[in-house]
Structure 1
Amino acid sequence: MSVRSGKRLSERWFNLVLWLVALAFAGFLIGLGSLVVGDLPQVEHRFTLEQFLASDQAKASADALKQIRREQDDNRRQAEQAQLALDAARSASEAARETFANWLKTRDATQRVDQDPGLIARTERLDALKAAERNVEERLEELNRTGLELSERQSTQIGIDTDLRAAAREKLDAAERGQELRVFAYRLALTLPLLALAGWLLLKRRHTRNWPFVWGFAFAAAFAFFVELVPYLPSYGGYVQYGVGVVATLVAGRAVINALHAYNERQKAAELRPDEERRTEIATDQALQRLAKKVCPGCERPIDLANPDANFCPHCGIGLFERCPACAHRKSTFERFCYACGQTSVAASPTGSA
């Protein structure tokens, strides 16, 4: 059966609309798939660090830290009060020393012996103030030593708490890696079969009347596997993606190589067949497109169309131009009707031609 009839303009528009349908179908599938893939982690519960802490040890460590901090706060308040008391004692001692110095100057000036008992009393009061000041200083020094001990205890307890949390962090990381692997397996189990199904549909159903949905599904499946899966890949997930890519490339490359060899064999066999038989197997649109590119419609090798005498391909011998039997106008052998007179070519309208 001949396939020489070309596509009408309306058919081309319909094909364009069908491709838009395929793209729209793919877009909705991609949106739906992204929601499903993004929500898959919800099948797993979220782990926290507290779940992996040794409860008794963690509680004891936390209570010890709280107690140390309470003691530090109390010690800090007492130290502040002692510092205020020390400042007051020093001020009182300084004032007493100034008063005593002034009194001594007066006594030395008057040389009155009856003031000796006062000298002793004032000296005793000054010594008492100095002793009180020293007591406050000793109290403050004791509080500072206590604060230092509390700081050391706090550092030790923080180290214990850090070790407990580090051990819990290791357990949490291990649990999250396991969870990550499971979620990735869920996503892979969803997207990989879709990719395989898309490949099967392209092989078996791409030429059916529902081809827009086949191509739309194939686009969505490829996007889901090679694009949507990427943000969720763990460190080892790239091996899966690139592994599938390598396998797909090998399969596709092998198919292309086999198709190329088969094409070359068909071309060689076709060049041995009669010219008329070969022309009936080439669609008019395809033949005219190749001629517009200055290549032979049969063997696709370059030809010189500027030469008015070039009626046959010099490479395969297929007829390219002929004279219209009605008006003798030179026309392509692949055109069903003559451009000059509109008559049907005898060679171009065999029985059963579509």
Structure 2
Amino acid sequence: MLELAANGFWGGDGVRAGSRLSERWFNAALWLVALLFAWFLIGLGSLVVGDLPQVEQRYTLEQFLEPDQARTSAETLKQIRRAMDDNRRRIEQDRLALDAAQGATEGARETFANWLKTRDATQRVDQDPGLIARTQQLDALKDAERAVEDRLTELAQAQADLSERERDQIRADDAERMEAQQKLDAAERSQELRVFGYRLALTLPLLALAGWLLMKRRHTRNWPFVWGFAFAAAFAFFVELVPYMPSYGGYVQYGVGVIVTLVGGRAAINALHAYRARQAQVEARPDAERRTEIATDQALARLAKKVCPGCERPVALGDPNTNFCPHCGLGLFEDCPACTQRKSTFERFCHTCGTPGAGAAVPAA
């Protein structure tokens, strides 16, 4: 990252702050090419990553149930429910019959009561044939009513037994399905791991290739395609792959985060110390040699930010007496040998008289 910042985040053929206006427009167009290339690669990669689960069959709960046992259980439950429906219909019919019997008994009882009121009070009750017949009729109606009630009691008991059998069968089915669901969950987790492995096997090499291209090929004339491929590979790995990463309660994600942070932090620390060591070596070299290794455009861009082109530390450039960096000793300004006008040591020509500078740096290729 430090090297990228030092190079102005451009590729090998990219333009810098002091470039021609046409070159800047061409460079912007090339960055647009890089983004379009990345966009198309991202779309293609999203389709590929999204279609990877199709290489695996989709599991269903029925695949983990014992076929014979499930069929027998379903048939048993169907028979129980059919018997319950038949029993329920008989109960409804007997209830209607009971209502009719109770109505007939009640009607006969009222008729008997009225008949008693109008009969001869002097007649002996126990010798009255009409009274005996009517009493026997009432008893017969009551017996019929009791018979219906007995049938209803038996049907209610049968219905209760059938309901208990139904609950037992449902509990057995639920236990069997729960066991099958556990097997299904285990199979789906294994499948998710395999599909994640497919995605990782696809995206990880792309990310490694993108890193290699950035290190080796980003300064070539094909840098837009290098950066476009790098953007697409990073998107495929960090956006397309991470949502499919197994969680296991967050342990995997946090664990991966810790590892990535350690590796990335260690790399950044090593890069910082390496940068400081290189800067120390560079600052120990002669002034003229150091200035020849700094590109003119890069040096002028840093001077515009009021920092030293060599060590990148702040310098009081507003002071006309500041000709050298107080931190590393790099020469920043000198007097033109022709017109004695103060100018930057990195300018190829004097901006007043056009005389070539003695310590002008060779422009970067």
Do they fold alike, i.e. is TM over 0.5? yes
CA distance in 1, matches of 2:218, 2:254: 26
CA distance in 2, matches of 1:244, 1:119: 100
Select which of 189, 192, 195 maps to 1:183: 195
Q: For structure 1, which segment, 157-166 or 222-231, has the greater mean C-alpha deviation from structure 2 after superposition?
A: 157-166
CA distance in 2, matches of 1:245, 1:194: 20
Using the TM superposition, give the Cα deviation of residue 70 of structure 1 relative to its aligned residue in structure 2, in angstroms. 0.8
Paired positions, count: 348
Equivalent residue runs for 1:207-286 within 5 Å: 207-235=219-247, 253-286=265-298
Asked whether the 8 Å contact 2:294–2:361 carries over to 1, the reply is: no
Matched, 1:111 2:121: yes
Matched, 1:153 2:148: no
Opposite residue 133 of structure 1, the aligned amino acid is: E
Equivalent residue runs for 1:1-354 within 5 Å: 6-107=18-119, 110-111=120-121, 113=123, 116-235=128-247, 253-341=265-353, 343-349=354-360
Using the TM superposition, give the Cα deviation of residue 237 of structure 1 relative to its aligned residue in structure 2, in angstroms. 11
Using the TM superposition, give the Cα deviation of residue 238 of structure 1 relative to its aligned residue in structure 2, in angstroms. 7.3
Gaps of 5+ in 1: none
CA distance in 2, matches of 1:118, 1:350: 144
Asked whether the 8 Å contact 2:60–2:184 carries over to 1, the reply is: yes
Using the TM superposition, give the Cα deviation of residue 142 of structure 1 relative to its aligned residue in structure 2, in angstroms. 0.8
Asked whether the 8 Å contact 2:279–2:311 carries over to 1, the reply is: yes
Opposite residue 8 of structure 1, the aligned amino acid is: R
CA distance in 2, matches of 1:299, 1:285: 16
Asked whether the 8 Å contact 1:325–1:345 carries over to 2, the reply is: no
TM-score by length of structure 2 reads 0.85
CA distance in 1, matches of 2:352, 2:84: 109
Asked whether the 8 Å contact 1:334–1:348 carries over to 2, the reply is: yes
Cα RMSD, aligned residues only:
2.8
CA distance in 1, matches of 2:364, 2:150: 120
Using the TM superposition, give the Cα deviation of residue 75 of structure 1 relative to its aligned residue in structure 2, in angstroms. 0.2
CA distance in 2, matches of 1:147, 1:302: 94
Opposite residue 58 of structure 1, the aligned amino acid is: A
CA distance in 2, matches of 1:174, 1:5: 59
Using the TM superposition, give the Cα deviation of residue 201 of structure 1 relative to its aligned residue in structure 2, in angstroms. 1.4
Opposite residue 208 of structure 1, the aligned amino acid is: T
Opposite residue 81 of structure 2, the aligned amino acid is: R
Q: For structure 1, which segment, 175-184 or 217-226, has the greater mean C-alpha deviation from structure 2 after superposition?
A: 175-184
TM-score by length of structure 1 reads 0.88
Alpha carbons of 1:241 and 1:201: their partners in 2 closer, same or farther (altered >3 Å)? farther
Asked whether the 8 Å contact 2:349–2:357 carries over to 1, the reply is: no
Asked whether the 8 Å contact 1:6–1:283 carries over to 2, the reply is: no
Alpha carbons of 1:198 and 1:240: their partners in 2 closer, same or farther (altered >3 Å)? farther
Gaps of 5+ in 2: 1-15
Identity, in percent, stands at: 74
Using the TM superposition, give the Cα deviation of residue 229 of structure 1 relative to its aligned residue in structure 2, in angstroms. 1.2
Residue-by-residue CA offset, 1:90-118 (whole Å, 9 max, x unaligned) = 111111111111111222xx536399322
Opposite residue 192 of structure 1, the aligned amino acid is: L
Using the TM superposition, give the Cα deviation of residue 244 of structure 1 relative to its aligned residue in structure 2, in angstroms. 6.6
Asked whether the 8 Å contact 1:79–1:143 carries over to 2, the reply is: yes
CA distance in 2, matches of 1:348, 1:7: 21
Q: For structure 1, which segment, 146-155 or 113-122, has the greater mean C-alpha deviation from structure 2 after superposition?
A: 113-122
CA distance in 2, matches of 1:188, 1:350: 48
Using the TM superposition, give the Cα deviation of residue 316 of structure 1 relative to its aligned residue in structure 2, in angstroms. 2.5
CA distance in 2, matches of 1:137, 1:352: 113
Residue-by-residue CA offset, 1:180-237 (whole Å, 9 max, x unaligned) = 2221221111111111111221222111111111111111111111111123223359
Using the TM superposition, give the Cα deviation of residue 157 of structure 1 relative to its aligned residue in structure 2, in angstroms. 1.7
Using the TM superposition, give the Cα deviation of residue 35 of structure 1 relative to its aligned residue in structure 2, in angstroms. 0.9
CA distance in 2, matches of 1:85, 1:46: 56
Using the TM superposition, give the Cα deviation of residue 322 of structure 1 relative to its aligned residue in structure 2, in angstroms. 2.4
Residue-by-residue CA offset, 1:18-64 (whole Å, 9 max, x unaligned) = 22211211111111111111111111111112222112221111111
CA distance in 2, matches of 1:88, 1:284: 114
